[in-house]
């Protein structure tokens, strides 16, 4: 998750790659050559950016005399501090460079279309005796300022804007790594877990009241999901734990996924395939899917995977009788002893007995 956010941070927070700057061939003291764009000279270290977007540090002394002089005289890239503020690896840098490339291609295509529209409009204006307006190409957005960055990074990661003290502290920080440090700080915050939980809660339809037997609550499921986010649990493990969950809700919060649609196995399967495979196969419950290669038989073959899953407790789970019934009867006696009518005031809400079993 953190690598993903760092990659998005480079691409979305206005950190354009140095590929916009002119690349040159650098030669080291052994005659080896590499083509890269100059980023910055910091002390005795030269930072260059390769074609794949990776920023590579190179000792100044390892360069040829001519390149050492060039490194001392070249102007640092406009986004040098931004490039060096986020530790990059090949995969992250390549992803950011690819996104920048796609944005640039889209901008070029848009400008070609706008230029053609402007040309046609100019011909119409000339025929009408109106002075044509010169066409101005749409330029790339300027690099993001620290003021813009601090606001957007708080919104993207923590789901809120920074307060005065947080924004001021960031703007006064003169270190080149301050953006990376702020990203790491926010990723470790409760705000990040809460904000990301909202995304998962909507996708998985998490709610407090689960569709199962009386008195069931989704609170353990909610807390389990928040704990997984805080622990940075991998997505594949989270999904595995939810799909194969076994036990009682208060002992294993992951059971909440199946308890969410307790007694509705086919509906739960349709939702599962939509959420995890991005495929809507609900139609196949009643007939072969009209627009996809899903047949009704295949749907029920998939449903059979959950055929042995139970989301209700049976008599074998309570050899002494259903505890919810005993607790409800006890609640009635307590209300009667206090002069209350159970029929009017209702039964006391007791602990959930929901569970899943394979």
Q: What pLDDT band is residue 3 in, cutting at 50, 70 and 90? A: very low
Count Cβ atoms below 10 Å from residue 50 Cβ, excluding itself: 19
Check residue 35 and report its DSSP letter: E
**Lowest mean pLDDT: which of 27-31, 204-208, 302-306, 324-328?**
324-328
Is residue 132 within 8 A of residue 121, CB to CB? The reply is yes
Question: Is 78 or 133 the better-scoring residue by pLDDT?
Answer: 133
pLDDT at 146 over 90: yes
Rounded CA separation 91/95 (Å): 6
Count Cβ atoms below 10 Å from residue 9 Cβ, excluding itself: 25
For residue 152, the model assigns a pLDDT of 96
pLDDT at 307 over 70: no
For residue 157, the model assigns a pLDDT of 94
Q: pLDDT of 228-287, one tens digit each? A: 998 989 999 999 998 888 877 778 888 888 887 776 778 788 888 888 877 777 787 788
pLDDT at 355 over 70: no
Tokens of 238: 């989270």
Tell whether the torsion through CA atoms of 150, 151, 153 and 154 is positive or negative: positive
Q: pLDDT of 271-287, one tens digit each? A: 888 888 777 777 877 88
Mean pLDDT across the chain:
78
Q: Residue 68 belongs to what H/E stretch?
A: helix 65-73
Length of the chain: 358
Question: Is 122 or 261 the better-scoring residue by pLDDT?
Answer: 122
Count Cβ atoms below 10 Å from residue 329 Cβ, excluding itself: 12
Q: What is the mean pLDDT of residues 138-147?
A: 88
Cα 55 versus chain centre, distance: 25
Measuring CA to CA, how many Å separate 191 from each of 160, 215, 235? Answer: 8, 30, 20
Give the residue from 236, 212, 242, 209 showing the smallest Cα distance to 224: 242
**Lowest mean pLDDT: which of 2-11, 110-119, 271-280, 287-296?**
2-11
Task: Calculate what percentage of the chain has a pLDDT beyond 90.
Answer: 23
Listed in sequence order, the residues at least 6 apart from 206 whose beta carbon sits closer than 8 Å to its beta carbon are 200, 218, 221, 222, 225, 256, 260
**Lowest mean pLDDT: which of 5-9, 60-64, 201-205, 257-261?**
5-9
For residue 344, the model assigns a pLDDT of 59
Q: Is 321 left (phi over 0), alpha (psi -120 to 50) or beta?
A: left
Q: What pLDDT band is residue 147 in, cutting at 50, 70 and 90? A: very high
Tokens 């002893």 belong to residue: 337
């Amino acid at each position: 998750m953190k690598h993903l956010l760092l990659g998005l941070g480079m691409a979305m927070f206005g950190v354009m790659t140095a590929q916009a700057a002119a690349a040159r061939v650098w030669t080291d003291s052994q005659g080896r050559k590499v083509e890269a764009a100059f980023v910055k000279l910091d002390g005795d270290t030269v930072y260059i950016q390769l074609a794949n977007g990776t920023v590579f540090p190179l000792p100044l002394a390892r360069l040829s005399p001519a390149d050492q002089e060039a490194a001392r005289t070249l102007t640092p890239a406009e986004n040098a501090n931004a490039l060096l503020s986020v530790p990059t690896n090949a995969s992250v840098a390549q992803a950011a460079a690819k996104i920048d490339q796609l944005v640039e291609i889209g901008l070029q295509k848009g400008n070609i279309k706008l230029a053609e529209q402007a040309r046609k409009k100019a011909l119409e204006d000339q025929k009408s005796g109106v002075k044509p307006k010169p066409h101005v190409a749409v330029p790339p957005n300027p690099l993001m300022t620290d003021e813009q960055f601090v606001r957007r990074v708080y919104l993207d990661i923590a789901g809120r804007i920074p307060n005065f003290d947080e924004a001021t502290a960031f703007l006064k920080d003169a270190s080149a790594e301050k953006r990376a440090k702020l990203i790491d700080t926010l990723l470790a915050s409760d705000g990040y877990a809460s904000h990301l939980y909202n995304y998962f809660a909507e996708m998985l339809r998490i709610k407090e009241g689960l569709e199962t037997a009386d008195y069931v609550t989704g609170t353990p499921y909610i807390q389990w999901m928040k704990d997984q986010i805080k622990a940075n649990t991998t997505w594949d493990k989270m999904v595995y734990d939810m799909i194969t969950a076994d036990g009682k809700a208060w002992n294993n919060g992951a059971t909440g996924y199946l308890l969410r649609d307790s007694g509705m196995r086919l509906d739960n399967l349709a939702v599962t395939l939509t959420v995890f495979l991005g495929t809507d196969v609900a139609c196949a419950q009643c007939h072969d899917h009209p627009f996809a290669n899903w047949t009704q038989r295949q749907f029920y073959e998939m449903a059979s995977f959950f055929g042995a899953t139970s989301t209700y407790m049976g008599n074998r789970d309570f050899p002494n009788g259903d505890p919810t019934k005993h607790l409800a009867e006890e609640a009635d006696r307590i209300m009667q002893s206090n002069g209350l009518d159970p029929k009017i005031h209702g039964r006391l809400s007791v602990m959930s007995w929901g569970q899943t079993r394979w």
